[in-house]
Every structure is written in C-alpha cells, then in structure tokens.
A and B are shown apart, each in its own frame.
Chain A
Amino acid sequence: MTAWGIANEDSPIVFRDMTAASGVHFVHTRGGCGKYYLVETVTAGLCLFDYDNDGDDDIYFLNAAPLPGCKFPVPPQNALYRNDGGFRFTDVTDYAGVGDRGFGLGVSAGDYDNDGLLDLYVNNYGPNVFYRNNGDGTFRDVTQQTGTANGHRVGAGVLFLDIDGDGWLDLYVGNYIVFRDELHVFHQLTGVPVYGSPEEYEPDQDTLYRNRGDGTFENVTESSGIGAVRGTAMGMVAADFDADGDTDIFVGNDVRENFLFINDGKGVFTEEAVERGVAYNGYGDPNASMAADCADFDNDGLLDLYMTDYQSEWPVLYRNLGDMFEDVTFETGAGGKLYPYVTWGCGFADFDNDGDKDIFVGAGHINDKIELLDDTTAYRVANSVLRNDNGKFRDVSASAGDLPRLVESTRGIALSDLDGDGRIDVVALNSEAPAHVLRNETENGNHWIQIDLRRSDRNRFGVGSRVKVTAGDLVQYDEVHSGRGYQSHWGMRLHFGLGERTKVDRIEIQWHGGGTQIVEDIPADQTITIEKDGGWRPSKRG
C-alpha cells in the first residue's frame, strides 16, 4: 500500500439508480415555453444537508419558475426530501415551508445564527429567499429581517463563510448577468432555436453580506473589495487556498476570467486570479466556467481546484502550488472524455475509499436541439466518474453500474453518504427531467471514516476548519465548505477513504478562527463527531 492507496481494478466504482425506489419524484423544469430565455439554461443547483439534525443528509432541490408568457398547470417549486434511512425519502416541502416558487439557481446551507441548525439561502432570478431553520422540521422566511434579498437579479452560487474569523457565518451571493425579461433576444440558427450567450449582457457584481451576529447582515460588497470587479458568476467555492488560516473565494465566471478573492484575514479581499493562475485555463482562455470544487487530490496538504465548462473546452484541474496554481488537466487526465460536452456539476469524493479523491462530473448541453446543429456533442449525456489512481485520473464511467445508461442533461450534482454505509452516493438534478438518486455500491472492502465538526459557541459546524487525517502512511486533508459545485451545497460531513487501514492514527483539526486540536486512535468505518476542545464520539446516524 502506498501513500495514495491502491484502487482495485477488479472492483470498479459502481452506482445503482435508486430513484424509483427512493421516493424522490422531483422533476425539474427550466421555466420556459419555447422562448429560449438564457436563464433557462442555468437552473439549477441542489443542496444535501441535515436539516433535521438526525445524522443523515436530506435533499433540497431547486426549481425554476414560469418565465414571461409561460404557464404551467402546477406551478413548479423547490422541494425538500427528508432522508428516512435505507435510501427512502419523503417529500416534506409543504410541511417544512421551503417550497419557494422563485426562479431557483443556487443554494447553500449554513448555521447563520449559531443555534446548531442549518439554515438555507436560495439564490434566484428575482428576489432571494433566506430560510431560518426552526428546529422542528419547519423553516421561516427571514429574508427581510436579515436584509439579504439582494434585489431583483440573476443569481448564481451561494457560499456561507466566516470572512473575518468572528465565528458568525457571512454570506457570499453570486450574480450572473444584468438581465431583465425585456432584455431577452430570441435567437435561432438555421431555423433551430438556440439560447444566447452571457456575452450579450453586462456582467454583474457579486454581493457579500457580513453577519452582524444579531440576526441581520450588512452589505459589505464595496468595502470588502468584492465589488471591485464584475463577472458572470456561476459555480464557486470558498476555502483557504493560500493556507494562511483565513477563507478565500474562487468564483467561476461564464466566458470571462474567473475570480480568486484572497482574504487578508479581516474580511477584505484582493482579486488575484490572473496572478495566481486560475483566471484562465492553461492556454490563457477564459472558459465558460460552470462549477467549481476543491480538494487535495494529490494529498500534499494544499487544496486544488476543479472547474467544469463548455463544449470543446476541457474541464480544468488546477494544482495548488502554494503561491499559485497550475493547470494540470492533461498530465493528470482529469478532463476524462468530457471535451465534447458541456459540463456542469462537479465534485471531489473518494468513491472507492482508497485514500484519494475521485471526481464526479455532470454533463449535458444548454441547447435542447443541439444535435440538429452539431452532432459532435449531445444535449443529454451520461455523467462521468473519474477515478484517481496515484494522482492520475481515469474515466471509469463505462463500468460504473447504472451510470452510463442514465442519460440526461444534468446541472447540479451533490455528493454524500446518504445511507451511512461509508460510501459516497450521488444526487443529480437534471434539467427539465426527473432527478437521479444513485447509491454507491462499490465493493472493495476498503475502510473509511467520516467526521462531523461541532463547536458549541460559534460557527457551530466548523465551516472553514481544516482537518488532517493520518492513517499509517496515508495523510489526507480536507476543509469544511458551505456551498460548492454547480451552485449547490454538500459535504459538511468530511469523508476520508482509508484503503486497507483499519484505524486512524491521528486527526488534527485547525479550527477556523483559531485553535488546533488533535484526536488519536480512532477505529475506521464509522462516522464520528469531534467537538471543539473535547474528544470524539460516534455521530448520530439517521
């Protein structure tokens, strides 16, 4: 066994489609009716979070709303599915009161009021919605009280992060383009209707809200430096990219240079994407960036970035070199076989528990009639899983169980161990189609550990905290994020594959905002909770 772990060639990563049996009947609509509004293409993300604190992740899907001139017999709305265990889910949308009927784009979950409950922020085309978790299975709309409606804009991803280490989660709200219904232009190409491009519209500022700690937020977009630039935000992820103890922000922009906001530790940011090598791909091309996720794919202690993009653009893997990044897509094979396709949701996870992070990518074109114009790509495409073998990625989708036969136009994907078996499962939101719920049935006997960070004072879920897991010669790192991938959220419970190792020797936590903690000698194959300044205990499972 090496420091990377070894993937067993004979036990491929396998996903089984559990949608029909799961009780998840969510069907996404893009809100259009043949008028081809650009916003139809970018809806939507989804959220895996434990809203009822029962120890397993529940599913919250975003949906679009009818666009001008479009009517639906049943108005589309967002949906919350409670995880009942055993891969069974129950639609609790109405009871929970989170069935927003706005035009959903991005979503994230975070405990903004430090009551130990995860709240929800929904980023719409139109007014946004902030749902406070009441702790009894219901939510309350606190958008006005918190002052976070964000006007009437076209949203994108959302992040909860603690910009200044004060223990109160702040809120980063992505904005895509400056658009109103009346600015829409109908396009067609040789009689085939097609969607326009974000280049036809003005880019927009993103919004940063600072949490005052009293249930309200202050718009600090300008004073924080975030407002110094305008982009076409889509997917985003916050992490300590320069390993200096504070949280930075990566924003993927559509057909423009990406942003990397470097935090000075006090919540003031400088945009340094060009200097640090993540504004463009390795060629210097501004990609049509879609989603972004980060993880330490090469186990060197630095968080790397993965970004999806458009047809005829390779998804990009940026290796973090410390002071800058390098596009290592080609030497690592991280582009898989995705060059012909528009790629969307993406996420790192160790699907085969071999001790390194694999990649899952959702794909599908924006134009539903693209095959009439271009047969080198497709509107509906099977999603991909790229297995990490010693830092090289191999597209193993063809042997990944039901994955190759599930052909849709995916937008958001989210990853979580939904059934508590230590294997990371997948939920995919498919544009204008039913969602997919996939169970990871990879059989290789590898071991694992999952970690929930908790603290009792502030930042209760440890967002931004960094964890180092040592098991024998295998050393892995991760960080707690809130908001990632394609305008989605998942993964506050950290998951580490351990290969053949049956115990973890040491877990070192660098708590965001200060403090280091070490716990030792933890048996593998369990989910544990580490309390700040306390020990570890097995987590509650749903």
Chain B
Amino acid sequence: MPEPVPYPALPEPLTGDWMKSQAEEEARRLAEAFADDVEALDLQAAVHRLSGRSDEAVETWKRCLVLRPDFLRAYVPMISIARRKGDYAEAERLCRECLRLDPLQVEARGLLAAVLFEQGQYDAAIETVLAGYAIGAVDAEALFFQGQAYQKKQEHEKAAAALREAIRLEPNYTRAYYALSVSLSRLGRKEEAAEVRAKFRELQGREMAANAAILEVESEEFVRRTVASVFQRAGEIWATRGRSEDAERCWLFAAVLVPDDPAPRLKLGTLYQSLNRPGRVLGLLDELGPLELRDPELLRARGLLFLRSGRRNEAERDFRAWIEAAPQSADAYSLLAQTYLTMGHKKSEALRAADAAVRLAPTKENLLVLAVACAETGDRDSALRIAQQLLQRDPQSPEAHRLYEMLRGGNR
C-alpha cells in the first residue's frame, strides 16, 4: 500500500534569505560531520560562492586541494573567481596547475586559452589549444579562443577552420558563428559571411528571448532552485556516507522547494527502496508516475523504481522513452532487456534489446544479459558461448561462473 511521504512544511512567506540560510546551515553541518571530506567541503565552498563570499569559497577549495591534490574539480570555480575579480595572473596560474596535474582537463584548457587571449597573448593561446588538440582534450570553447587568436594574427583561414571545428562540436555556439562571420568577411567571402551572420543572429535572438523569459521569473525563484540543488547534492553526500536519515531530510526539503522537479523525489524513491520501505516508494511513484519526463537520467531513475517495484509496464515505458531520448545509450537497452526478461512473455523483445546493448557497449554486464536472453529464447549454444567469452575475459567473475554452470547443467 502506498504510504504518504513526510514532506516538511515551508514557512510563509518563503523568502530568499531564509532559503539561503538553510543552505548555509546544511553546508556547515556537512562540513562539521565530515571535516576532511572534500565532497562536503566542495559543497560548502559552492555555498560560500552562492552567498557572494568568494574569498571564503576559494579558501575552502584550497583546503580541498590540500586534502586531496587530485581533486581537480576545485580548480574551475577558483579560476572563474580569479577571472571575475580581474586577477588574470592567478587565473592563469590555476589553469596551468590544473593542466599540469591532468592535461586532459578540457574545461581548464579552455579557460587558459581565454585567460591568455584576454591578456593579449595570442600565440600562447593558440599553443595551449594545439597542445590539447594533440591529446584529444579540447572543447568548443578552447577552439573558439584559438579562432579568435588567429583572427588577431590576421590568419583568417586558420581562424575559420578552428571556428568551424568549434561549431562542429557545438552546433549552436553563438559566439563562434559571430567570429566566423568576421573571418569570412576579412577573407572577402561576403556571401558566406552573410549566411553565417544570419545564423548568428538567429541564435542570438533565441538567446535573448530565453534571457527575457528567465527575467520574467522573480529572482527569488532562482534562489529557490539553487538552494534545492544544494540540498540535492547534500543528500547525495549524506547518503554515500551512510547517513540515510540526513539524506532523506535533505531530499524531502529539496522536493518541497522545487515541486515541479522530479529529481529529489526520484532520489528519495531510490533511498526508500534501498531501505526496504516499499510503501514510501509506491507513495512517490503515485506522484511521479503521471509526469511526462524527457531527461534520460530522470527516465532511468524512474524506470528503475518501477522495475524494482514490480510495475514492469511503466518501467518498459520509461526505458523506451529513454532510448528515444538517447538512442546510443547501451544502459537503456540493457535495462529494457532486463524488464522484458522479468515479464516472461516478451523474450524475443528482450533478446533484441540485449543484442542492441551489446552492440553499443559489449560490457560484462550487457553480455550477461544477452546470454540470459539467448537462454530464455532457447538458444543455449549462443548463451554458452557468451558465458565462455565472459569467463575468458574475467575468470574470477562469480556471475559468469554461475551462468556457465547453470547453462552447462541445463539448470536455469
């Protein structure tokens, strides 16, 4: 039987400063409970930043790096703050430090290219991007700044090439279209430039409309969503450290702050499932079931809740929607196959889905599902062959052993 979910009551009126104080209190509580835990400190730093205390945020992220020098996630916000304060020397230093620790840090490379470009160091900006390109670690942002730097050197063919590559990686990259139109103009390719400029204006018009829409929402709404995201993350940190009650408290609070966002309730559902509280899960599914979701992550989470609650038809619906939203997701096919296998009467559909999953990602887990699907559809030879493959790949795998023994003994 579905049980009601114990959502907390919010004060009336709900004010931004109260919400912010709740986020700060939660971040403090986490940091106290896990004083040397970089995830907790990272969240506290983020809350400092949200509250406009960038110095405290930077100090907290620096502590993260003392505790765990490979906690590279701390660099990007520190670089952004340094840049925002106009401290480009510090921004550059942080970028280089981050890339020294891991040259594959794409975002830091893009930021370094930007910082160098804005200091007028065009050759250095180009070199930075080329170095990243050589190891496959550049994003559209880095390529945009490379294009800008080539423009400054009047190398417009190279600029156009870099900018086209940026657009290939990010087809709606407004800034890149603008820069490309400039280079094409300088190259005398006026018609092409006009076409690109038209695309730029179309994208920019969309961006301005989106900005206007955001502004129509009261600014307190922004705070509400931001604080909700802090509580979602806090819940994850509590949960992974075994503090289920605190995780539940955080996600319940996030759920009431953003009732139109299913994410906190999906997390609650997963938590209740792990705590073996099916009534609560069903209560949540009654709320979540009718929602039309499009985000793959949310579809995955809800589908799993349905599947584990025995509501297979709804699970099937979500996993199919997930595949529609992300056709290259092997996990989606694999979970759909598992759903079909539990249904009993959709074995051939299970086989097709499992086969698709393996084609997209021939992982051990997906091969196991395919082997089971083969066996379920009567193709024991294929199932055995896959089980043998799995054992060759990982001779210690208990799942592969179990499957192999079952198939060989004819005892499924």
Contact = CB atoms under 8 A, between A and B. Distances in A.
8 contacts: A188-B219, A189-B223, A196-B215, A282-B148, A282-B179, A314-B118, A330-B119, A330-B120
A312 B118 CA distance: 12
Lowest 7 A-B CB distances belong to which pairs?
Answer: A284-B178, A191-B17, A190-B16, A339-B86, A374-B52, A190-B20, A330-B120
Tier of interface size on chain A: 35 or more
Contact of B211 (A199, A330, A340, A372): A199
Contact of B220 (A189, A372, A376): A189
A284 B86 contact: no
B207 to A, nearest CB: 9
Nearest to B82: A376
Interface string B215-232: 110111011000000000
Contacts of A191: 15-17, 20
B182 interface: yes
Contacts of B83: 339
B340 interface: no
Interface residues of B, number: 43
Contacts of B17: 190-192
A375 interface: yes
B15 A371 contact: no
Interface string B90-108: 0000000000000000000
A375 B178 contact: no
Contacts of A359: none
Interface string A187-206: 11111101011011000000
B204 A284 contact: yes
Interface in B29-76: 51-55
A376 B182 CA distance: 33
- Tell me what chain A mostly uses at the interface: helix, strand, loop, or mixed: loop
Contact of A277 (B53, B182, B212, B219): B182
A187 B204 contact: no
A189 B222 contact: yes
Given A189-B16, A194-B219, A284 B179 contact: yes
Nearest to A338: B86
B174 interface: yes
Contact of A375 (B53, B119, B215): B53
- Tell me what chain B mostly uses at the interface: helix, strand, loop, or mixed: helix
B85 A284 contact: no
Contacts of B85: 340, 376
Nearest to A392: B120
Nearest to A284: B178
B179 A283 contact: yes
- Among A190, A192, A194, A331, residue most surrounded by chain B Cβ atoms (within 10 Å): A190
Given A187-B219, A338-B86, A330 B20 contact: no
A375 B52 contact: yes
Interface in A274-301: 274, 277, 280, 282-286
A331 B174 contact: no
Given A189-B219, A197-B215, A284-B200, A333 B15 contact: no
Nearest to B226: A190
B197 interface: yes
A199 B212 contact: yes
Interface of A: 187-192, 194, 196-197, 199-200, 256, 274, 277, 280, 282-286, 312, 314, 324, 330-333, 335, 337-340, 371-376
Contacts of B200: 284
B266 to A, nearest CB: 27
Contact of A283 (B178, B201, B211): B178
Contacts of A197: 215
Contacts, number: 88
A190 B223 contact: yes
Given A196-B215, A274-B197, A340-B84, 13 more contacts: A189-B219, A189-B220, A190-B16, A190-B20, A191-B15, A191-B20, A194-B219, A200-B212, A282-B179, A330-B152, A338-B86, A339-B84, A373-B52
B249 interface: no
Contacts of B55: 375
Interface in B155-195: 174-175, 177-179, 182, 185
A527 to B, nearest CB: 37
A333 B120 contact: yes
B52 A286 contact: no
A428 B200 CA distance: 38
Given A188-B220, A314-B118, A376-B85, A285 B52 contact: no
Interface string B12-32: 000111011000000000000
Nearest to A256: B208
Given A188-B219, A191-B17, A286 B152 contact: no
A163 to B, nearest CB: 28
Contacts of B216: 200
Contacts of A374: 52, 54
Given A189-B222, A191-B17, A284-B200, A376 B120 contact: no
Contacts of B122: 331
Contacts of B152: 330-331
Nearest to B116: A330
B118 A330 contact: yes
A285 B215 contact: no
A376 B81 contact: yes
A372 B120 contact: no
B117 interface: yes
Nearest to B121: A330
A284 B219 contact: no
A196 B219 CA distance: 9
A187 B152 CA distance: 41
A189 B50 CA distance: 11
Contact of B215 (A192, A200, A372): A200
- Among B83, B86, B177, B200, residue most surrounded by chain A Cβ atoms (within 10 Å): B86
A340 B90 CA distance: 15
Contacts of B219: 187-189, 194
Contact of B204 (A192, A286, A335, A338): A286
B223 A285 contact: no
Nearest to B145: A283
Contacts of A330: 117-120, 152
Contacts of B51: 190
B202 to A, nearest CB: 13
A285 B54 CA distance: 25
A364 to B, nearest CB: 15
Nearest to B200: A284
